Amino acid sequence: VPEDLCTAEKIKEFVSQSSHPGLHSASVPGILAVDISPSDSAKILTGGADKNATVFNKDLEQVVAVLKGHTKKVNRVVFHPTEDIVITGSHDSTVRVWNVPNSSTTSILRVHDGPVTGLSLHATGDYVLTTSTDQHWAFSDIRSGRLVSRVQDSSAPVALTCAQFHPDGLIFGTGTADAQIKIWDLKEQSNVANFPGHAGQISALSFSENGYYLATAADDSCVKLWDLRKLKNFKTLQLEDGYEVRDLCFDSSGTYLAVAGSDVRVYLCKQWNELKVMNDHTAMATGVRFGENSQYIASTSMDRTLKIYGNQ
């Protein structure tokens, strides 16, 4: 655990430090996705219902880049870990790779026949995993735009709703529209494990950085935690009736788990107790991420704001 990691006691005292409503269009309201740059924790990437993605510097409180090119809403966004590159997925069925300094598209991945629902960067930083309502997952080279593989689960043809790589880059998880969580071996392109138990569409999944846990959510007002070594559900965080989960995220140390949806909340891993609930958004929260060493948290919402939480 890093020395500078924010303590649980400090997270309990987090407050909304700032709110930014001007990043996306007011006429097509809603920020749908968020990510924080691993190499510069001040930089925050958002994807909007207005078809744009925006890079915002929270310390300078200014927009660094507006990324225009998608023809439908941008619902998945990822920062490259080491380079000034971002990747976006859209309902226009394309994935775009962008050079941030000049706000330009460097490649367009046309690998799906429906909205892109999942987007995850491989550990190498060279390849991206995507899923779509078209029932396929795809693995593509972000430099050349080349499609490496595209796979459909022939045993169960169903829309895919989310995706994430395991930190080791060898396996990944996908969520389906019919409550299934599937673990895949990338090299073999085979489905190696399944986690049943949710009801409704899988809305989010997140691997912890140490690779031991998987957190999942669906339309059933709970978060399930899975032990990847024993392949079992060891804990279910029951949320209030009707609670909707839109995003899940572990911090980079695997100490905290954040949930975004009907509100924004943080849990302490291992004990799995709730540390903090933040009710600042006036509409559904769509995304949540931890800043470096969990010194701050960012969330986005259909209320079209990006909010920053930390200590006063």
Contact 76, 94 (CB under 8 A): no
Terminal alpha carbon distance of the chain: 24
Please give the Cα distance from 66 to 45 (Å, whole number): 10
**Residue 65 reports pLDDT greater than 90:** yes
Length of the chain: 312
Confidence of residue 157 (pLDDT cuts 50, 70, 90): confident
Rounded to an integer, the average pLDDT of 196-209 is 94
Plot region of 55 (φ>0 → left; ψ -120 to 50 → alpha; else → beta) = beta
- pLDDT at 1 exceeding the cut of 90: no
C-alpha dihedral (260, 266, 267, 273), degrees to nearest 10 = -110
Sign of the torsion angle spanned by Cα atoms 174, 179, 181, 182:
negative
Local confidence band at 29 (pLDDT 50, 70, 90 cut-offs): confident
